[in-house]
Amino acid sequence: MSTVQKSVIDEDEIDTVLGTDIQFSGTLETSKSLLIKGRISGAITCGEDLYLSPESVVDADIRAARVVARGRLSGRAVAAESIQVLAGSAVSAALEAPEIVVEDEAGFSGTKTLTEEAGHA
């Protein structure tokens, strides 16, 4: 079981950071970790950790190893390991992962589906 991310994310440890000035619509793919601060719509595939900062607005079909949401998320998120919806976030989405944590102070509406961890049949 993973632990909920409580600390501030160190941007120096993130492979790619999309700043608050970024607005993107389309398909975004990366094999590395990604921090989104701006507005994104479409599809996101992330091979490692996907972080949504408090100022982010994301309406997308997401596939990632792990998702940590602190901002606004709508659409669908599928994670191979875990999804964390943290305090202060506003999530209206279908979530699928082996582990899903929604903090009490988070705004969440949608569905949560627990799946088997990748590699475990």
Q: Which two tokens stand for residue 10?
A: 């160190």
Alpha carbons 24 and 117: distance in angstroms, whole number: 31
Domain limits, the chain: 14-113
* 76 C-beta neighbours (distance < 10 Å), count: 16
- pLDDT score, position 121: 45
pLDDT at position 68 is: 97
Which tens digits make up the pLDDT trace of 31-77?
A: 999 999 999 999 999 999 999 999 999 999 999 999 999 999 999 99
Mean pLDDT score, 91-95: 98
**pLDDT value, residue 22:** 94
What's the CA gap between 88 and 104, in Å, rounded? 10
Quick one: pLDDT at residue 88?
95
Tokens 């479409």, residue? Answer: 42
Buried b (16+ CB within 10 A) or exposed e, 28-45: beeeebbbbbbbbbeebb
